[in-house]
Amino acid sequence: MDVATFMEKQSQYLAPAYHRYVDILFVRGEDSYLYDSSGRKYLDFATGIATTVLGHCHPKVVKRAKDQLDKLVHLSVVAPYEPPVQLAEILSRYAPGDLGMCFFTNSGAESVEGALKLAKIFTRRPAVISFRGSFHGRTLGALSVTNSKGVYHYGYRPLLPDVYVTSYADPSQFPGRPDPKLAAELALEELNRLFLYSVSPEDVAAIIVEPALGEGGYIFAHPDFLKGIREICNKHGIVMIVDEVQTGMGRTGKMFACEHAHITPDIITMAKGIANGLPLGAVVSKRDIMAGWFPGSHGSTFGGNPVSCAAAIATIETIEEEGLIERAGKLGKQALATLKELGAHPAVTEVRGLGLMMAVEFVSSEVQNKVRKKCLENGLIVVYCGLKENVIRLMPPLNIADADLERGIEILKQAVQST
């Protein structure tokens, strides 16, 4: 099918709600590259929004998924099978603290839905607190705690009741743009004021937080922020949910980004990179909390599908065997040092990052669009984020070749300098 015919059929048969960052028909992926219908290759720094953490069609992941396809594809809740139990055991080994029990889902949004339900049934409390700039998904519960853009809520109100929103430890959310440590202090003060003026802490089931804002602009919270939330939750018997959907699976140089703050959540939500592109998510919690779900109180038809679980096991084994978590931290520091050279450019507001989760913030969305299109012309795929859509985010595969990472950073630098 030629590209023009494909685009016409896409507009005819697929819902217009689907947003695409680039209008290119890709037909194949290998390692850190995508290939379009004409055979041109593009270096991929978007990785399906941080899903293909090992690049495209990693041979070990593909083989494990194919092997499982030949054995057993799906049973739903009719009977148990091995891959979900094997994966749960592996995740319990990597999860911080005593988080050792899993419920599998199909996506990040579904994981957030599950985490909210679990917190409510465990505490028997109605309220939830989330943060300005956060993104947790588009299903109704996840959407209710999402606050990265008002347009996401348009047409869907009323949302869930008893959801309270307060400032994230994002310097741009405070007058004078304070340093990250002071922003964390101010955000915690505002959270405590919420208890004074808006909701009693004894009514709060959960506080849900991203260790770094994803869609909200790749804002990396100072560790004091997560530590402060942990202390507040301990004090009031509130469940702390950390959303690691985009930050997890080694992306930041730790298996989970909350480890940088040396805290243990009560619940972690994960998805995206867990199965290197196959649909899978998870809710991982302490056993006493997960025990709040009696049989039948929650469920999923496809959650924990054995093919996706097999792919996830292969993904985590590869991350472990190749030392990719430590490598992400090392490569991220090197790449960020090079990117920091862009800080002097008048169109650049800030360069920031943690591991292989990096961002360049521009003075406007117009500048961001020009830079992004220039990158695409030169064979590099990057995508944007942020309230003002003025941030380019970089999320290359954890196993990207050194030369490919350097090439991508150089393409981006040249695109900025030509703006």
Q: Is residue 63 part of a domain?
A: no
Same domain, 133 and 231: yes
Phi, psi of 132 (to 5 degrees): -60, 130
Decide if pLDDT at 249 tops 80.
Answer: yes
pLDDT tens-digit map of 109-130: 999 999 999 999 999 999 999 9
Q: What per-residue confidence (pLDDT) applies to 2?
A: 82
Q: Are the C-beta atoms of residues 416 and 370 closer than 8 Å to each other? A: no
Q: Is residue 64 part of a domain?
A: no
pTM above 0.95, yes or no: yes
How many Å is the Cα radius of gyration of the chain? 21
Last residue of a domain, one of 299, 321, 343: 321
Decide if pLDDT at 1 tops 80.
Answer: no
Same domain, 156 and 28: no
Residues 6+ apart with CB under 8 A from 308: 65, 275, 278, 279, 280
Same domain, 190 and 275: yes
Task: Map tokens 């679980």 to a residue.
Answer: 309
- What number is the average pLDDT over the span 304-332? 97
Q: Are the C-beta atoms of residues 309 and 278 closer than 8 Å to each other? A: no
Last residue of a domain, one of 297, 321, 345: 321
Residues 6+ apart with CB under 8 A from 241: 112, 115, 116, 119, 206, 207, 208, 209, 265, 266, 267, 268, 269
Kindly indicate the confidence band of residue 378, based on its pLDDT and cuts at 50, 70 and 90.
very high
By three-state DSSP, how is residue 289 classified? helix
Same domain, 111 and 156: yes
Decide if pLDDT at 90 tops 80.
Answer: yes
The average confidence (pLDDT) of the chain is 96
pLDDT tens-digit map of 154-198: 999 999 999 999 999 999 999 999 999 999 999 999 999 999 999
Same domain, 214 and 363: no
By three-state DSSP, how is residue 305 classified? coil
Amino acid in the structure at residue 284: V
Query: Chain centroid to CA 42: how far?
Result: 23
Same domain, 259 and 401: no
Q: What percent of the chain has pLDDT over 90?
A: 96
The tally of domains found in the chain comes to: 2
Q: What per-residue confidence (pLDDT) applies to 39?
A: 94
pLDDT tens-digit map of 204-220: 999 999 999 999 999 99
Same domain, 186 and 298: yes
Task: Map tokens 């997890």 to a residue.
Answer: 248
From the list 254, 272, 286, 374, the catalytic residue is 272
Same domain, 157 and 40: no
From the list 44, 170, 243, 266, the catalytic residue is 243
Q: Is 135 a catalytic residue?
A: yes
CATH of the domain at 48: 3.90.1150.10
Structural domain of 367: 3-57+323-417
Kindly indicate the confidence band of residue 18, based on its pLDDT and cuts at 50, 70 and 90.
confident
- For residue 72, what is the DSSP state? -
C-alpha span between 282 and 248 (Å, rounded): 11
Q: Is 243 a catalytic residue?
A: yes
Q: Is residue 67 part of a domain?
A: no
From the list 104, 135, 256, 362, the catalytic residue is 135
